[in-house]
Amino acid sequence: MKTVLVIEDEPQIRTNILKILGFKGFQAIGAEDGEKGIEMANQHSPDLIICDIMLPNVDGYGVLSALRQSSNTVTIPFIFLSAKSDRSDIRQGMNLGADDYLTKPFTAVELIDTITSRLEKQATVSQPYIDAMRQATQQLNQFVYFDPLTNLPNRVLLRNRLQEAIVQAQKHSRWLRFCAST
């Protein structure tokens, strides 16, 4: 289940968005101002953030700037949701690094389509890195557990497997049989 953080100071709008997201299967969390939104983004590491621009304490532009400076939140897709609909406002948000911009009023379909699009793009961009990490982990395991010359299991792997077998034998109250040579 994907987590979406909604940073919106208007309680009715925030509640409606949270309900829409909940109905569509998202885990939705809300913040009532920019300062609280930054805190929640760092605390919860959501999969996507929706943020109003005109907020108390820290405005949406400040929220985006703060999140883009943190290594924990820099890659989280960020969507502005605002009544500011001038091209210059939209351009400013996009120039700061927003991934998308929705203007109020909006429909539930527009909201969900925008969120889905951003999450799909994030998954597409992340997949090569995930594949590279998986391959690097497999190579590392090969180097750690197998002899490079013979490609046979080494002492580390054999010791780990023996420890696992001992734990299983103790768990099931069974004897562990093995041969040892000197």
CA distance 100 to 90: 9
Interstrand relation of 27-31 and 3-7 (parallel, antiparallel or unpaired): parallel
Q: At residue 125, does pLDDT exceed 70?
A: yes
Looking up tokens 């940073």, which residue turns up?
Answer: 7
Closest alpha carbon to 78 in 21, 106, 38, 39: 38
Domain parsing of the chain, residue ranges: 3-127, 135-171
pTM of the model: 0.71
Residue 179 binned pLDDT confidence (cut-offs 50, 70, 90): low
Q: What digits encode the pLDDT tens for the residues 79-110?
A: 999 888 888 888 888 888 899 999 999 999 99
For the domain covering 3-127, report its CATH number. 3.40.50.2300
Query: What ranges in 73-154 are assigned the alpha helix state H?
Result: 87-95, 108-145
User: Residue 127: its pLDDT value, please?
Assistant: 79
Q: Could you give the percent of the chain with pLDDT greater than 90?
A: 55
